[in-house]
Amino acid sequence: MSYVFCDRAHIVKAFFSVANDRISREKNVEKNMKTRDRAVRKSIPHEKHMRHYPAVKIGRLGVDSSLQGTGFGSIVLNSINGMFLVANKTGCRFVTVDAYNQSNVLGFYQKNGFNFLINGDENEKTRALFYDLASVIL
């Protein structure tokens, strides 16, 4: 599902898309998968370890260049989180994103409470991050 933020003149100021997702604990004999499984269990603050954790993924997020650095992107992220805190019909607990591996992009998500899912993707084009919605209501 895609959403658009427009001003009073109906000019697009931001947009985002979301889709159902899950954080999986993969069981695989490969070393990197075992490392990922341990990282997922360690990263997610949950007493019961499940094989899959319900999530919603931010597919795309864009803010008009004139509003970048003003806090408007944080307002958009708070709106996304709010969609799944109030009347959460999907039952998801986490918001995930595959963010471009650039310091300003990663810093933006970290500033807004996102954490790295694993540490094995430091050299990849994107990094997996997650936000625990339960941290807001607990």
Q: Tokens for 121, please give them.
A: 């993707």
CATH, residue 112: 3.40.630.30
Q: 134 or 71: which carries more pLDDT confidence?
A: 71
- Which helix (H) or strand (E) segment holds residue 81: the answer is helix 72-85
**pLDDT for 26:** 57
- What is the arithmetic mean of pLDDT over 38-67? 77
Query: And the tokens for 39?
Result: 């990282």
Reported pTM: 0.78
pLDDT tens column, 69-94? 999 999 999 999 888 888 766 778 89
User: What is the pLDDT, as a whole number, of residue 28?
Assistant: 38
How many domains does one find in the chain?
1
Range of the domain at 48: 2-137
- Per residue in 92-130, pLDDT tens? 889 999 999 999 999 999 999 999 998 889 999 999 999
How far apart, in Å, are the Cα atoms of 108 and each of 34, 88, 89, 118, 133?
29, 25, 27, 18, 17
